[in-house]
Amino acid sequence: MPEETGQQNAREKEMSIWGHLEELRWIVLRSVIGIVLGIIICLIFSDFIVKEIILAPALSTNPPLKLSTTEVFGELSFYMQVAIWGGVILSFPYTLTQLWKFIEPALYDKEKKYVRQISFFTVVSFLCGMAFAYFVMLPMMLTFAAEFGSETIMNIPDVGKYLAIFLMIVIVSGLIFELPLISFFLGRLGILTPAFLRHYRRHTLIALLVVAALLSPGGNPVLQIILFVPLWALFEISIITSGLASRKRKTELTQ
């Protein structure tokens, strides 16, 4: 009997694993479908997205930053890249929801509540980072690029390289704005503490200065300071959020 019971438990465990894999397969499939639908929507409105969103920061500089392409299908490739990346970004909340549905059954009720909140603030933080990059960082960087140099040199960047810089700045900024949320989550798990962050504050500030320098075209010190200040603020907010999470964790453990 014990042997049969063990075999039955093994079969149930095996079925459970295959059930999770099947669920994961459907979640991946739905996420891919969401991305494809996002790409289709971006293709339909590609002309508006390119002219009113992607190229708007370049056209708003004084003088306007002109773009070019030397490839036969360069502009077509540019539009397709915009549609693909736009679809990924547009479907991001839906993809995150699918991920939440996959991990939800393995969590306790309290953890489910926190994951829901984390999912919501993940999207909000990412969008705030993208907005900061689009309305603050990109205009400053492109204005500097348009005004810098000699009149005898024509500054006509390749549209593909412009898109690469655009996506890098926007997406990296969105990810950096996740720092306070990640600190709170790691603090809830007991992995990260405010004491640890304070101990390595000087090291982190140096790293943030390096990041600001890499994101600043031409090593402009004014741009470096402007970019460094929000990064520093996000780090300090991360210390606060990790402290709040650590206190909540201690309170729950003592109850």
**Collapsing DSSP states into helix, strand and coil, what is residue 109?**
helix
**Collapsing DSSP states into helix, strand and coil, what is residue 52?**
helix
At 15 the pLDDT is: 47
Q: Is the dihedral of CA 108, 110, 112, 118 positive or negative?
A: negative
At 163 the pLDDT is: 92
Tokens of 242: 């990790």
At 242 the pLDDT is: 86
Task: Spell out the alpha helix ranges (H) of 91-158.
Answer: 92-103, 109-132, 138-147
Closest CA to 119 of 137, 133, 135, 107: 107
**Collapsing DSSP states into helix, strand and coil, what is residue 176?**
helix
For residue 127, what are the contacts with CB-CB under 8 A and spacing of at least 6? 174
Q: Where are the domains of the chain?
A: 1-51+59-128
Whole-angstrom distance, CA of residue 111 vs CA of residue 250: 15
Closest CA to 117 of 250, 237, 245, 229: 245
For residue 71, what are the contacts with CB-CB under 8 A and spacing of at least 6? 77, 160
Whole-angstrom distance, CA of residue 171 vs CA of residue 223: 19
The residue whose two tokens read 């736009």 is 86
Taking CA atoms, 27 is separated from 121, 145, 163, in Å, by 21, 43, 30
Q: Which residues of the chain, if any, have pLDDT below 50?
A: 1-15
- Please give the full DSSP string across 66-90, using - where no structure is assigned: --B--STTHHHHHHHHHHHHHHHHH
pTM: 0.76
At 255 the pLDDT is: 66
At 9 the pLDDT is: 47
At 246 the pLDDT is: 81
Count of other CB atoms within 10 angstroms of residue 179: 17
Q: Which amino acid is at 169?
A: I
Q: What is the DSSP letter of 95?
A: H
Kindly report the backbone phi and psi dihedral angles of residue 60, in degrees, each rounded to the nearest multiple of 5, phi listed first. Answer: -85, -5
